[in-house]
Structure formats: C-alpha cells, structure tokens
Structure 1
Amino acid sequence: MYLRQLDITNFRGIKRLSIHFKPNMVLIGENAWGQSSLLSALSLVLNGSDRLYQFVEQDLHFSPQDTQDTQDTQDTQDTQDITLLFCFCEQKQREYRDKHALYRHLLIPHQDGLQRLYLRVSSEKQGDNLTTSYTFLNELGEVVADKNNQKIVQYLIKHYPVYRFRDARLNQAKMAYLPLSWQGDESLKHEFMAVGRLLQYYFLDRQHTADYDVDPTLLWEQLNSLCLRLRQDRSKYIQKQFIQFLSTLFLPQPKNPQAIRPIILFEDLGAHLHPRMVSIVWELSQYLPIQRITTTNSVELISQVNLPDVCRLVRYSDRTVAYRLRHGDMSKEDLRRLTFHIRHNRSLALFSKMWILVEGETEVWVLSELAKLLDINLSAEGIRIVEFAQAGLKPLIKYAKAMGIEWYVLTDGDEAGHKYANVVRELVDELTDSVSNRLTTLPRPDIEHFFYTEGFADVFIKLAHWQDHPHQPRPMRKIIQRAIQRTSKPDLAIALSNEMEKQGVSSIPLLFKRLFSKVLNLSRTQ
C-alpha cells in the first residue's frame, strides 16, 4: 500500500489543495505557493511515532479576507477548520487479503480493483480551544465508528512514516541512530558507510560539521562507485542489502523492517550540492523502491527527471492546484521530443509562469531586447521565451496547459505561420478563452520583413553593406538575407533595439506593445 492522494483544506499556506502522488514525484513552484505547507502536513501527521499530532493555532490558514471584520461569525469559523484527507491505496489487487486484519474492514473497493483506505484528520475551533480528531471514512464519506480507531491510526503512522530531509539538515534525533559499522556483506562496507557519513556531514546541524573528521571528496567517489554496482546488480542483491542498511539509519533496531513503508521527503534537494553530486544522489535514490517526494529549484536536478514525474504547484487566490502530465495527455513521440527540447536544453522553462512561444532564434533575441526597452523584466515576471520549431507547437501548448503554465504564441505571416495559427485555434477553448488572447500573427512573412517595413530598413541596409544602384528599387528580400548572412541573429536584434532606443519607445511597433500587454496580464493571473 502507498499514499495515493492528499486533500488539504485550510492548513497553513494552503486554502484548498488536492494532490495525487506517484512513487517518485518532484514538486516545483514559487516560494509561498504551498510546498512547505504540504510537506509539513505529511511529516506532522505521519510522524512514525505513537503520538498523534494535535493541530495548534499556527496551523490555521488565514487569507486576507479572514482578518476583516464580519457580522457572520459562523462563516469565519467554517473557514478556519482544518481537514487533511489521506487516501492510501493497494499497489496490487487483493494485496491485503490475508493480512492486516486490524483494518481490513476499513478497505473500500474501487472500480480499478485496488482497495482504498481513507483517513481524515480534522480540527474544530470552539472558542479558544482547537480540537483534533482522527477518523476513517467509508465509501459515502461517512465516519466509521471503530473501538480500535486510535490503535489503527497509530499502526498506519508507524508503518508509513515520513522522513523529511530539509535545508541541508536532518533531524538530529534520527541522525543519532546512524550506525558506526556494517555487519552485513563486508564487500559493501565502504560504500554503505560512505552513505552514512555523507548524511552525517551534510544533514547534521552546521555547528557540528566543523568537528567531523571526514574527506567528502573520497566519500562522494565511494557513493559513485555504489551507483555503478547497483546499476550492474541484475540479481538486486546489493539493492536489498542497501535497503536493509538504510532501514537502520531511520529506525533504531526495527522489529519488522520489511513491514515499514517509509515516505522520503527531499526538500530543496540540490540547493547546497554541486551539479555532479546532485546527479549521484539522484541516481542513488532511483534504486530505492520506496515512495519519494522531492522539492527543488535546481535546473540540474530537473534535467534528470522524467517529465511525467514533475508536479507543479500553482497558488491562486482561492486554492492551490497541483499540475502534472497525466496518462494519455501526450503521445510517446511528442513526449520524447518535448523531453529533449525542454528537459535537456531548457529546464529553466519549467520554473516559468508564462511561455512566449516563437518560431525561431531571431524572435527570441528581438523580443528579449524589446522587453528591455519597455522596462519589462522577463525573469522577474516569470516569463520565458521558448522557440518551438524543433519540438513542435502542439506538444508545447499541451504541456503548458497540463502544467498550469500560461502561454502566448507569435507566428510568422507565411504559410507555415498560418498553419501554426490554426494549431492555436484548435487548442483554445472558446468557452473560457479566446484566440486573440493567445495569438499574434505577423502581417509579414517573418519578423525581419516586418521590421523592414515598419521603418527600420536602414538597419538592414547598414548591416548588409548594401550599395544602392541608380534608378533601381531596393530588393527587400535580398537585403534582409545579406544582412543576416553578414552578421548574426543576436547582432541583428541588438541593432534593431539600438535604433528603437535611439528613436524612442514610441518607435516600437504597436503590435509588440499589445503582445507584451497581453502576456503580462496572463502571467499575473498566478
């Protein structure tokens, strides 16, 4: 059984959130968008002990309107009640048919053949008192009365504990149990001990690490060696030994380590590690057949994660939404192309709130320069310009919509550009959106021809070193081609930008001013 879903209402920084977990999930999102609140909900309730967590005043969610005076005190009271609904699910059909009689009667059948178990942890504020209750629900969402209720809750908490690694520190109470020796296979001793010592080195309180006599470089090499051995371990013997070793790190003398199904939380993984070390840690974690949830702002780490494993949290005024790719959202070929285009080459785009999708490199440079002239800080606004020619426009828009990333498309005015515009029309839901809110099509074949006809012909003539001939018209297409050949696309963009700066902001074509206005409005919805 594993933790499949968690629904949160009015807990700390989260007003409402429903999130589906996977065996390996990576969470991304801006600061104050709810990642820490989500991990706190998990680690406080599933704390691995006999102690049932009791909500305190600081756990209540307060939005700005909650602080305003209101005549309806009951409505204010309702908004303050905390509810955490945990859904555990079987990993295979009839997984608990012959065991765990303690809570077998609480398992609820599902149409997919995998039984569920629903645990609700809720609070109720009565005057100055905040009470916490742990209850199980049936298929109708009704409370199941059971005399062994607390015993069952404690069993779940102890068998599905959450271990939270955060801020380059680990809870010292857990670190106190790190073994100083390995009693198993002697050939694995050095690599396994390297794991323990690196945990000590990187996750102990900083004031103690100065006194820890260890050479981290040597330990990282031993960790890399362990990854190589695990990679070649067809029988999974080393993997089983490694899991046994790790169980002693988290649980001092566990009575039945095989029955424990921990959930590991890596918070801000990669924040304090070199990219090479991040790669080693991430590969090593892939050999752990346990549920893992990772939060990160590391471009290096994201570049190694499968796109379907990435979950993006977005906070709106009334809720927080967990966006991720779902089965069937994209074809295998589209996912392959998108993975190469975004994950390997443009991982930073995954952290953006807004994509401006353009056909090629020239548009990237020109729009970047225009934003500067208009005093728009694209990075600060969370806006990323992404060229779509290699990956295809449709997969990028589909992915942006699946991940809650706002998007806008700029296309050329040629035949290919009109085909791209039709893709936008196909993917826009006219009931809730409009094509004009998502698309700008240039009135010229491409962006170079557009600027040439918008009063910037002299820039191209100068870059092309063009010499006029008496009584002959200037061949626009030839001049543009020669200008591109004699310089580079970045230099062309800078030359156009310099000319617009010289002439003043009023010289920037109205088409692009309107484009950026729409883009900013879309990006600020989050």
Structure 2
Amino acid sequence: MYLERIEITGYRGISRLTVNFNNQTVLIGENSWGKSSLLRLLWCVLGNGEVPYEFVEDDFRKEVSDYQFERYDEEKQTKYLHEKDISVVLVFREVVLGAALKDSRLQRLYPAWVRCRDSYSRVFYYLHGHMNCNGSVFTDHSFLDANGDLLNQHVSMMKQVVSLLALNPLFRIRDRRRGNHGLDFGGDADNTFRREQDYGSESTGYQNGFDNGDSEDYDYSGDDVSETSFNTAGADDVGRKNQVFGRKSGQQKALEHIRQKLPKFLKSMIVSDGENVADTLLSENLDAINTLLEHYFSIVPPLSRTARGSKGRKTGRDIQDIVLRPVSNEAFGSVSKLLNHSGKRSIKIILSLIVASFVDDLEGRKIDSQARPIVVFEDIESRLHPTVLMNIWNLVDLMPIQKIVTTNSGDLLSAVALSDIRRMCKTVSSVECRFIDEKKFNSDEMRRIAFHIRINRPMSLFARAWIFVEGETEIWLLNEFAAILGIGLQAEGIRLVEYAQCGAGPLIKLANQLGISWHLLADGDEAGVKYARSAGNGDSDDCVTLLPSVDIEHFLYDFGFADVYRQNCGVSSTHNLSRNKIIDMAIRRKSKPGMALAVVDEARRRGKRSIPHLFQKILVKVKSEANNRH
C-alpha cells in the first residue's frame, strides 16, 4: 500500500490542490505555491502516530472578507462572518492486485477498502474540519467510496482510521543545522501528541527513503511500488523479520544500547556540521547508524524491485531507463556499497545528519511493527555543493520506501524519472499540479528532451516561460535586447531554449504538460516556415513569430543595423556590394555570434528605440505571460 493522491480544499495557504504521488515524487514550484501548507498537513495527519489529527483554528484558510472590522456591538461574540470548512482526502492504493484481500497487514483496514474501475482496491481516508463563526472547530474522520460518498456512515470506523495511521507513518528528514534540534510541541493541552513545526518559513531538509544494505538482492522493475512481503523469503530473512517485528531476539538489547549511544554523537554532528568530529569516531558510529536504519527500515519491502532470481530480472539500465533518468546511480547497488566504496567523509557526515533528523523525529513515537513509512525530504540541496548533492542523492535514491521530495536543484531533476516530477503552478483560485504523461511522447522525443533539457538545461524546468530560438545568435540578441528594455529574463522566470537540433515539437509538448508558457521565434526560410507550421496549431498561432526575412542576420540588416554589417565586412567601400555579400563577408570575418554582439553593442549606444519592434513585442508579451503564471 502506498499514498497515491491527496486532495485538499481550504487548508491554510491552499485554496484547492490535488497531488498524485508515485513511489518517488519530486515537487517543484515557486515559493508561494503552498509547499509549507502541504508538508505541514501531511505531517499533522500521518506524523503523529496513531492519534487522529484534530484541526485547529489556524488551519482554516482565511480571507480578508472573513473578518468583521466594524464591530460596534461589544457584546457580539462572533469572530468571523462566514463558517469555514476544510476537506482532505488521502487515497491509498494496494500495489499488487488483490493484496488488500490476501495480506493480513492490509486486512486490518477492512471494510475501508474500495474496489475501483481499474480493479485495484483503494482506501479513501476523509478528514473534514468545520469552524463556525465563533471559532469553534470540529473534525470528522471517515472513509469514502469510489463515488465520493461516505462509507458505512452509520458505523464508527475509528479502528480502521487508527490502523491506517499506524501502517503509514510519515517521517520528516530535514536540515537540523539551523539551530532547533528538537521538535516543538504545539496545540491544545489535550492534543500533546500532535507535533507542530513552524511552517511559516520555507525551511530546508526533506529527502527520499532508506536502504537496508540488501539492495543488491533486487532490481528495478518499473515505477510502481512493490507490495512484496517476506512470505517468499529464505530462513535468514524470516529470522530477520522476527527481529524487526518486535519479537524477542538477541539484537534488542544491542538496539537499546545504540539508541542510548547515538544521541550525543548525532548532536555533535548537528552542531558542528561534522567538521569537528574525528574520522575514527565517525567510522565507529557509522556501524551503529547502519544497524539502526536496518532495524527500522528492513521491514520495508524492496519497492520497485523484484526478488533475486525472479524472471525478467534486469542486469542493468536499458535504453528506456537511460532516457527517463539521464543521471544514474547504477554504480552503487546499495547504501552499503556506496559507503564502503566511496570513502568520502562528506557522505558519511550527511548520512549521520539524516539519521540525526530521523532519530529526533522518532522520539516519543511508537512505530507499528508492520508499518510502511513515508519519508519526506525538503530542499536537500540546501548548503550542499552540487557534487556532494549528487553523492547524497545516490544514497537517498537507493533507500527503498515511498519518498516525497521538494527541491530547487536542476541537477537533482536530471537524476529522477520525468514522470516523478510534479510542477506546482499557482493560479488565482487554486494550485495546479502539472506532470508529464510519458505515453504522449515516443522514445525519440524522450531522448531529445533528456539531452537538450534534462542534461544541458535542467534549470529550464523551473522557468515560467520559454522562448524557443534557433541558435546562439538569437540567445545573445534577446538576452541583451531585453536588458536594454529593462527586462531581466532570469528574474522574470524566462528561459531562452534552442530548438534547432532538438526540434520544436517535443519541447512544446513538454512545456504544455508542465504548464510553462512559450513563444517560438523562427527564421523566414523554408525550415523556419516548417517549424512555425508544426508549432502553430489553432490557439498556438499567437505563440509563433516568423521573421519577415530569410534569417536573423538579414532581418537585422533590414531593420536598422545595416551599418554594423558594413563596418565589419572588412572592406572600405561597400557601394558595389549586394546585401547578401556584405552579410556573408561580415559573418566570415566575425562569425554569427560575433556579429550579434556587435549589433547589441550598437543598440546599447543608440538606446531602446533602435531595438526592432518585432523583438520588443515578443519580449513584452512573454514577460506579461510569465507574470500571469506567478
């Protein structure tokens, strides 16, 4: 079972939001899309053990119109003009078809399981919060059927609610180096188990799951999580299962010793970033860290992997996987291999910091022996050099549990499957979660996107708008023309993307699915006309500009910069030379990008009015669309 979807209405900074999750989900978006509210909600609901969360007054979304500013009647008791509601639906799905009926662990949720049209069984956990005008808050916990109606509404199902929370605990792995090394307990006195964190700021520190060192026994077999249990395991695995599931074993005392030993070491790691910790002490405690991780996460089935010796076992990355995940951690089969073969102090330090956060998060919580944790990592790239980040990501990616990641790193996006990326786009009334449907792209298109965007321009995925240009010349021109006009392309979230080698079609499809506005600039030659026709279909016609000249050089010559080409063609008199000859001589002497810079230099000297109206129109239009996307 894994968390498949969450639907939120009226919670804190979120008016309306629906997010679909995979085994590994990477969330990207600008600061105001509601990340803090989403992560806080997940933590409040799933991060408090078996205690169902009760909404509080601050959880309800507030608008200016809610308040009574002119309250002349001092005896008036109402605080708000309108009653308010919060609606949250968490959808959990069985991974293996029929597992809900066969797995004793999942049978604990019966009769909350609902069989859906795709034949998979799901649990629709529904939380409804209501606040009246007096500020009194009421919370209901229930389950829904496939049509969204209450399931068994005349029968209490709190037992199933508690079981669901126990089976799906959520952990937050975050950067604890900013000071507060303990959790803040907030809320009412009768709700002391509800852990509250100050989510008012966009703090850092979440990442993907844990690996128990046995990853080499499994291979990746797709994007879905696996519901594989230990039923088919050998005797050693059964013995390990007995240890993990809390049955008396010789390792229990060792684990207690580790729990007592590690906190002091982990605290020193947090305070000093590991800089003052000796290598010998680091190595000594690393074994304890591995043991602790193995204990808490070896019960987690090897997600997205099949057992060793099974049919269809992969021995390496195939072509499809290479295209979907351009940056690979294939060099490491497990966390153990990564630690043993890298020998890098930075990796060991970061692992210790991750475990420190986990141990802090675990304190005071009783974890069900059959639980399948969900781990959230927020902005793992915080304070990390890109090289160190990829080392850490190799570690995190090998951890076989469901993971939710937020990031602003383009390098990290290149290391995850394109279908795992969720781009959050804020609109006037809600937040849209945009994602890639890989079925809409053929293998050649995916290869082009992998090379031209994910490897060469990964930060483009964070942009609000793309301007497609044919080559380097247009990039120099538009960048500098925009600056002369007072438009900072980077600051406005606008990226210039070359399409000549890739083709405009795949890039336009990608932009449309991710909610990125775009505009295509094409030469007036035969190839440019072809690009324009392929891009401009119906509503997209106003997103395409075809130059009235055969290419960008002839356009500049015809629209105010002929003198620049004459001055750079290398001859004293150009009266007897044709336009084509002058342009060709200047390009041979200076190159196309060199002439573009010469034109820009002259444009700066002349001022804004010298910039061709066509370029001004494109830049102003794209800037307006980019601002509308924010």
TM-score interval (norm. to shorter): 0.7 to 0.9
d(CA) in 2 for partners of 1:150, 1:498? 72
d(CA) in 2 for partners of 1:211, 1:515? 51
Q: Residue 161 of structure 1 aligns with which residue?
A: 169
Cα pair distance change 1:66/1:381, threshold 3 Å: farther
Q: Residue 529 of structure 2 aligns with which residue?
A: 418
Q: Residue 112 of structure 1 aligns with which residue?
A: 118
Cα pair distance change 1:392/1:212, threshold 3 Å: same
Q: Residue 292 of structure 1 aligns with which residue?
A: 403
Letter in 1 for 2:569: A
1:447 to 552, 564, 574: 552
Greater Cα shift, 513-522 or 439-448: 513-522
The answer to whether the 8 Å contact 1:357/1:386 transfers is: yes
The answer to whether the 8 Å contact 1:48/1:159 transfers is: no
The answer to whether the 8 Å contact 2:268/2:274 transfers is: no
The answer to whether the 8 Å contact 1:165/1:265 transfers is: yes
Normalising by structure 1, we get a TM-score of 0.83
d(CA) in 2 for partners of 1:506, 1:217? 67
Residues 1:143 and 2:150 aligned together: yes
Q: Residue 607 of structure 2 aligns with which residue?
A: 504
* Aligned residue runs from structure 1 range 313-328, under 5 A: 313-328=424-439
The answer to whether the 8 Å contact 2:473/2:592 transfers is: yes
d(CA) in 2 for partners of 1:341, 1:511? 27
Deviation at 1:203, TM superposition (A): 8.2
* Aligned residue runs from structure 1 range 215-254, under 5 A: 215=279, 230-231=332-333
Q: Residue 264 of structure 1 aligns with which residue?
A: 375
Percent same amino acid at aligned positions? Answer: 35
Q: Residue 180 of structure 1 aligns with which residue?
A: none
Residues 1:15 and 2:15 aligned together: yes
Q: Residue 520 of structure 1 aligns with which residue?
A: 623
Q: Residue 177 of structure 1 aligns with which residue?
A: none
Cα pair distance change 1:111/1:302, threshold 3 Å: same
Deviation at 1:410, TM superposition (A): 0.6
Q: Residue 277 of structure 2 aligns with which residue?
A: 213
- Indicate the SS of the match to 1:308: helix
- List structure 1 runs of 4+ shifted beyond 6 angstroms: 196-199, 216-219, 226-229, 232-235, 245-248, 252-258
Letter in 1 for 2:420: D
Q: Residue 507 of structure 2 aligns with which residue?
A: 396
Q: Residue 57 of structure 2 aligns with which residue?
A: 57
- Indicate the SS of the match to 1:5: strand
* Aligned residue runs from structure 1 range 172-187, under 5 A: 172=182
Deviation at 1:307, TM superposition (A): 2.0
d(CA) in 2 for partners of 1:387, 1:302? 20
Cα pair distance change 1:286/1:216, threshold 3 Å: farther
The answer to whether the 8 Å contact 1:201/1:209 transfers is: no
d(CA) in 2 for partners of 1:199, 1:409? 56
d(CA) in 1 for partners of 2:335, 2:474? 49
2:85 to 76, 81, 85: 81
The answer to whether the 8 Å contact 1:3/1:21 transfers is: yes
Cα pair distance change 1:486/1:96, threshold 3 Å: same
Residues 1:91 and 2:95 aligned together: yes
d(CA) in 2 for partners of 1:27, 1:342? 18
Deviation at 1:445, TM superposition (A): 0.9
Deviation at 1:371, TM superposition (A): 0.1
Deviation at 1:228, TM superposition (A): 8.4
2:469 to 340, 352, 358: 358
Letter in 1 for 2:170: V
Letter in 2 for 1:88: F
Deviation at 1:246, TM superposition (A): 7.9
d(CA) in 2 for partners of 1:228, 1:20? 27
Cα pair distance change 1:66/1:506, threshold 3 Å: farther
Cα pair distance change 1:267/1:233, threshold 3 Å: closer
Letter in 2 for 1:213: V
d(CA) in 2 for partners of 1:108, 1:158? 19
Q: Residue 563 of structure 2 aligns with which residue?
A: 458
d(CA) in 2 for partners of 1:450, 1:335? 34
d(CA) in 1 for partners of 2:532, 2:389? 40
Cα pair distance change 1:211/1:397, threshold 3 Å: closer
The answer to whether the 8 Å contact 2:477/2:596 transfers is: yes
- Indicate the SS of the match to 2:530: helix
The answer to whether the 8 Å contact 1:271/1:298 transfers is: no
The answer to whether the 8 Å contact 1:3/1:89 transfers is: yes
Q: Residue 41 of structure 2 aligns with which residue?
A: 41
2:485 to 369, 374, 397: 374
- Indicate the SS of the match to 1:4: strand
Q: Residue 108 of structure 2 aligns with which residue?
A: 102
Cα pair distance change 1:296/1:446, threshold 3 Å: same
Deviation track 1:339-392 (CA, whole Å, cap 9, x = no partner) reads 111111111111100001111111111000100110001111111111111221
The answer to whether the 8 Å contact 1:106/1:136 transfers is: yes
Cα pair distance change 1:495/1:304, threshold 3 Å: same
Residues 1:301 and 2:412 aligned together: yes
Cα pair distance change 1:82/1:171, threshold 3 Å: farther
Give the aligned CA root-mean-square deviation in angstroms: 3.7
Deviation at 1:417, TM superposition (A): 0.5
What are structure 1's unaligned runs of at least 5 residues? 175-182
d(CA) in 2 for partners of 1:40, 1:143? 25
Deviation at 1:12, TM superposition (A): 1.4
d(CA) in 2 for partners of 1:421, 1:519? 17
- Indicate the SS of the match to 1:491: helix
The answer to whether the 8 Å contact 1:168/1:203 transfers is: no
Deviation track 1:408-441 (CA, whole Å, cap 9, x = no partner) reads 1111100000001111223xxx4xx3512x1111
Higher relative contact order (CA 8 A, sep 6+): 2
d(CA) in 1 for partners of 2:181, 2:373? 16
d(CA) in 2 for partners of 1:65, 1:318? 15
Cα pair distance change 1:338/1:199, threshold 3 Å: farther
Greater Cα shift, 368-377 or 101-110: 101-110
Residues 1:273 and 2:384 aligned together: yes
Q: Residue 583 of structure 2 aligns with which residue?
A: 480
Cα pair distance change 1:255/1:16, threshold 3 Å: closer
- Indicate the SS of the match to 2:536: helix
Cα pair distance change 1:362/1:214, threshold 3 Å: same
- Indicate the SS of the match to 1:323: strand
- Indicate the SS of the match to 2:33: coil
Cα pair distance change 1:380/1:234, threshold 3 Å: closer
The answer to whether the 8 Å contact 2:5/2:90 transfers is: yes
Deviation track 1:190-214 (CA, whole Å, cap 9, x = no partner) reads xx99xx899947984x4x7589634
Deviation at 1:259, TM superposition (A): 2.0
Letter in 2 for 1:96: A
Deviation track 1:98-146 (CA, whole Å, cap 9, x = no partner) reads 3243322221111222111101112101222011111111223222236
d(CA) in 2 for partners of 1:45, 1:306? 28
Residues 1:343 and 2:349 aligned together: no
d(CA) in 2 for partners of 1:253, 1:31? 32
d(CA) in 2 for partners of 1:37, 1:354? 26
Cα pair distance change 1:216/1:435, threshold 3 Å: farther
| Aligned pairs, number | 487
Cα pair distance change 1:135/1:378, threshold 3 Å: same
Q: Residue 152 of structure 1 aligns with which residue?
A: 160
The answer to whether the 8 Å contact 2:463/2:494 transfers is: yes
What are structure 2's unaligned runs of at least 5 residues? 71-77, 184-194, 196-248, 291-328, 341-350
Letter in 2 for 1:16: R
